[in-house]
A = this chain, B = another copy of it.
Amino acid sequence: MTRPAPASKPRISASEIAGAIVRAIESGELHPGERLVEADLCLRFGTGRQAVREALQQLKAAGVVEIVPNRGAHILAISAEQAILTLEVTELLFGLAARSAARRIVAGADASSLERAVAELEACRDAGDAASYMHARRHLFGALAHIAANPELTRSLDQARVHVMRGQFGFAMMRGEHAGELAQVGKLVLSGHAAEAEVAARAYVERIRHRLETP
């Protein structure tokens, strides 16, 4: 190899910028309605405007921002009604992910990532702050999608997840009981009970949705 390592060029790609923006929204650093000015993002990530523009296009496709011609991008607010609609989709996708992953584990797929995610969830079930719960939940979703090995499901779930995790309603999903529920879903998947895992996964999402419907 002529080149020693790709680390010699740590340039940030468009996808990484998009991910960083999403995490900033999740953490409350950026809030809905706020404008995303290209020049600011260039300074923030130390990259050119082209990469920033591509990142904004990706976020637009994911429904995170809206881009109006000649006026730039701003973070979309999500109403409670829209969040409920999104969770209707998430319920189906998460259920399918749990069912497929359970079947794949029965078929001998590698379950180590899911085991780690479940352990992480149980660790923050009792004494966990919001950030660690979000981190653990992200791990669980990622592990399920990875094990399910369904590219289309992974993509849809990723976008739906991104869509709901936005600041406004994040607080409604950061309770310790939810960490326990999610860990239970992971355990059912690990034990290979596909149907029960799907039911538990859908019930988890449905409970969050009901909490939004009746505040």
User: Which residues of A are in contact with B by a Cβ distance under 8 Å?
Assistant: 14, 50, 53-54, 57-58, 61-63, 82, 85-86, 88-90, 92-93, 96, 100, 149-153, 155-156, 159-160, 163
Question: How many Å lie between the Cα of A57 and that of B160 in the bound state?
Answer: 19
Q: Which of B14, B89, B153 is in CB contact (< 8 Å) with A150?
A: B89
A150: chain B residues within 8 A (beta carbon): 85-86, 88-89
Residue of B nearest to A99 (CB): B88
Nearest Cβ in chain B — how far from A206, in angstroms? 13
Give the 5 A-B CB pairs with smallest separation, nearest first. Answer: A86-B152, A92-B92, A85-B150, A156-B156, A89-B152
Label chain A's interface by main secondary structure. helix
Contact between A163 and B152 (Cβ–Cβ < 8 Å)? yes
Work out how many copies of this chain go into the complex. 2
Nearest Cβ in chain B — how far from A129, in angstroms? 28
Nearest Cβ in chain B — how far from A149, in angstroms? 8
A149: chain B residues within 8 A (beta carbon): 85
Given A54-B54, A54-B57, A57-B54, check contact A152 B92 (CB 8 Å): no
Contact between A88 and B92 (Cβ–Cβ < 8 Å)? no
A88: chain B residues within 8 A (beta carbon): 96, 100, 150, 152-153
Nearest Cβ in chain B — how far from A96, in angstroms? 6
Given A54-B53, A57-B54, A57-B58, check contact A152 B96 (CB 8 Å): no
A85: chain B residues within 8 A (beta carbon): 149-153
Contact between A156 and B89 (Cβ–Cβ < 8 Å)? yes
Question: How many Å lie between the Cα of A78 and that of B78 in the bound state?
Answer: 34
Residue of B nearest to A13 (CB): B69
